[in-house]
Structure 1
Amino acid sequence: MAEFPGYFRYCLNTGKLVLLAILVSGGIVLQILACALYKNWWPMLTVITYVLLPMPLLFFVGSDHSSLFSESDNSWVNATKFLTGASAVGSIAIPAILKHSGVISWGAFAMELSSFFVFVSAIMCYLRMNDEDDYSYL
C-alpha cells in the first residue's frame, strides 16, 4: 500500500476500524437480543467468557505476537494458548449446556452462537489488520 497517497491509506484504515466497530456492535446486539427476546437472561453468562478471552493475551504474550502463531518453547506462550482456547470453548459450551438443560430455547441458543461467530470474525479481522498495517498489537 506504499504506492497509494497518504489520505487514501488513512481512509482505508478508517474503514477497517469502522468495520470492526460494526462487527463488535452487532455481536453485542445479538447477545442482548438473545436474552431480551426470549425473556431469559441466563445467556448473559457467556459475557464472562468474552471478558476473560483476551486477558491471557494481554497479560502473558507481551509485544512479540509472532510467537503466538508458531511453535514455541516458552511456557508463558503455551499457557496463553491454553487459557485462550479454554475461554473460547467455554463461549460455546455455556449456551450448549443451558440449552441441554432446558433453560434457554433454540432461538436464544442460535443467537448466542451467531453472536460468538460475529465476535470471532471481528477478532480475526483485527488480527489480520494488525499483520498488514502500522497498528500495534495491543
Structure 2
Amino acid sequence: MALSRSMRACLHSGRLALLAILVSGGIVLQVLACALYNNWWPMLTVLMYLLLPMPLIFFLGSDTSSMMSTGGDGWVNFTKFLTGASIVGSIAIPSILKHAGIIGWGALTMELSSFVVFGVAILWFLQMNGEDEYSGVF
C-alpha cells in the first residue's frame, strides 16, 4: 500500500519526535543519577557519550553500511575500535565508581539505564536512516 507524500512526512516526523523523546529521557536519567544522590561523579560518563559519535563522524562520514560490514580498510577498523572503546567506557565508568564506593546502587542503575536508552535511540536512528521508504520524503 502506497502512502501519500504528506502521510509519509507525518509518519517520519512522528518517528523523529519519538527519537527526540528517547534522547531526552536518557539525558534526564543521566542528570537524575547525579542530582538524586547529590553526587556528580557519574557525569564522567557524559564524556564517553560525547566521544561515542566522534569516530563515526570523522572517519566514516555518512556511510553507515561500511560500519556494519565485516571487512574494511584501516580507517573503518580504527573507527570500530574507537566506537567499541567508547561503549565499554560508558559501562565501565559507572561500574568502577560503584566498585570504589563513590556512587551507590541507585546511581549505577540509573546510569546503566541511561546507557540503554541512548543505545536504543542510536540503533533506532541507524535503522531509520537506512530505510529507503523515507529517503525521498525531505
- TM-score w.r.t. structure 1 length? 0.94
Which residue is equivalent to 1:93?
92
Secondary structure of the residue that 1:97 maps to in structure 2?
helix
Which residue is equivalent to 2:119?
120
Asked if 1:33 is matched to 2:32, the reply is: yes
Identity of aligned residues (%): 66
- Unpaired runs of 5+ in structure 2? none
Letter in 1 for 2:82: L
Secondary structure of the residue that 2:62 maps to in structure 1?
coil
Which residue is equivalent to 1:61?
60
State how 1:1-138 maps to structure 2 within 5 Å.
Answer: 3-132=2-131, 133-134=134-135
Letter in 1 for 2:51: L
CA distance in 1, matches of 2:12, 2:100: 45
- Unpaired runs of 5+ in structure 1? none
- TM-score w.r.t. structure 2 length? 0.94
Q: CA deviation at 1:134?
A: 1.2
Partner deviation per Cα, 1:77-101 (whole Å, 9 max, x = no partner): 0000000000000000000000000
Letter in 1 for 2:42: P
Letter in 2 for 1:134: S
Letter in 2 for 1:69: M
CA distance in 2, matches of 1:21, 1:71: 30
State whether residues 66 and 72 of structure 2, in contact with CA within 8 Å, keep that contact through their aligned partners in structure 1. no
CA distance in 2, matches of 1:50, 1:7: 35
Root mean square deviation, CA, Å:
1.1
Q: How many residues align?
A: 134
